[in-house]
């Protein structure tokens, strides 16, 4: 009876794909949500790798079999996946930034809560925006965009070719700054209206000092803010599509800079 031998090439390709997908799952929105613990992420990475490795086998050259060379390649693949997920998270964080701006303007920042998924202090608006953004991400098949970008990355950035260049660092810095730009853009209409309400309250307080403007102004700002947020929900899906488009093109640019 001949001994059973496992071909080495499929195992090496599986490890390479697993490293890149594992880095992506560890940082990308939805997969990297704190509600999904480490075991769930490992299972998701394994399932995705089992599905993608046979498809990518023809595009990937056989990685080195010696321990040192293989570890260097796997470390590079892990970094590539992590950068792709990090770029997606930076752009996606603009929605949460907008929610924090609105919460501060409406006075909700005084009533901070603990997010059970992240164990960090946040506002009710921040939690709602995060959940709504994840729902829109799933509804628009945004997670498929990440997988498509990951598959394409094996052609643009083959295993073992990763280099951390100055262009990549510049790209990451620009996406970090873009988080604030996206947040201000999404929150700008509501902030302008709330500032107008604030000025109106101050003017009313000057002309009619007998009224308790602080007591009247607080619920008024909350009511106007909630009305604006409700009215803007109609336009939010289009904004989310723009955000998802920025994420996809950002992933393509990141792969080109590696």
Buried b / exposed e over 192-212, threshold 16 CB at 10 Å, is ebbeebeeebeeebeeeeeee
pLDDT band at residue 114 under the 50/70/90 scheme? low
What integer best gives the mean pLDDT of the chain? 77
pLDDT digits (tens, 9 = 90+) for 25-84: 888 877 777 666 778 888 888 998 988 888 887 787 777 777 788 888 888 889 888 888
235 φ, ψ (degrees, to nearest 5): -95, -10
Helices first, then strands: H and E counts in the chain? 8, 2
Indicate if the pLDDT at residue 129 is higher than 80. no
Q: For residue 115, what pLDDT is reported? A: 62
1 located within any domain: no
Residues belonging to the chain: 258
pLDDT band at residue 224 under the 50/70/90 scheme? confident
249 located within any domain: yes
Cβ–Cβ under 8 Å, residues 182 and 198: no
159 located within any domain: yes
Indicate if the pLDDT at residue 112 is higher than 60. yes
Q: For residue 113, what pLDDT is reported? A: 66
Mean pLDDT across 203-222: 74
241 located within any domain: yes
**What angle do the packed helices 124-139 and 142-156 form, to 10 degrees?**
70
| Rounded to 5°, angle at Cα 27 from 126 and 133 | 35
pLDDT band at residue 3 under the 50/70/90 scheme? low
Q: What is the DSSP string of 164-204?
A: --HHHHHHHHHHHHHHHHHHHHHHHHHHHHHHHHHHHHHHH
Residue 216's domain comprises: 8-257
pLDDT band at residue 228 under the 50/70/90 scheme? confident
The kind and range of the H/E element at 121 are: strand 120-122
2 located within any domain: no
| More confident: 77 or 244 | 77
How many independent structural domains does the chain possess? 1
**pTM, whole model, 2 decimals?**
0.76
pLDDT band at residue 1 under the 50/70/90 scheme? very low
């Amino acid at each position: 009876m001949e001994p059973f031998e496992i071909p080495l090439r499929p195992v090496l390709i599986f490890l390479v794909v697993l490293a890149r997908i594992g880095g992506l799952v560890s940082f990308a929105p939805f997969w990297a949500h704190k509600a999904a613990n480490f075991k769930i992420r490992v299972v998701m990475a394994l399932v995705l790798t089992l599905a993608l490795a046979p498809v990518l086998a023809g595009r990937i050259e056989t990685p080195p079999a010696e321990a040192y060379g293989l570890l260097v390649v796997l470390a590079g693949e892990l970094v590539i996946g992590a950068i792709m997920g990090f770029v997606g998270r930076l752009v996606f964080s603009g929605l949460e930034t907008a929610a924090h701006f609105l919460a501060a303007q409406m006075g909700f920042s005084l009533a901070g809560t603990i997010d059970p998924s992240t164990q960090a202090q946040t506002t009710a608006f921040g939690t709602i925006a995060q959940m709504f953004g994840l729902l829109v991400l799933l509804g628009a098949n945004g997670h498929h965009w990440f997988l498509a970008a990951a598959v394409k990355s094996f052609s643009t950035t083959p295993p073992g070719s990763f280099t951390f260049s100055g262009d990549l660092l510049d790209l990451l810095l620009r996406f970090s700054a873009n988080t604030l730009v996206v947040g201000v853009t999404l929150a700008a209409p509501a902030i302008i209206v709330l500032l107008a309400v604030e000025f109106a309250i101050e003017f009313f307080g000057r002309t009619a000092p007998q009224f308790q403007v602080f007591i009247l102004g607080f619920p008024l700002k909350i009511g106007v803010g909630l009305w604006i947020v409700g009215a803007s929900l109609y336009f939010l899906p289009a904004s989310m599509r723009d955000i998802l488009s920025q994420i996809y093109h950002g992933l393509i640019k990141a792969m080109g800079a590696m």
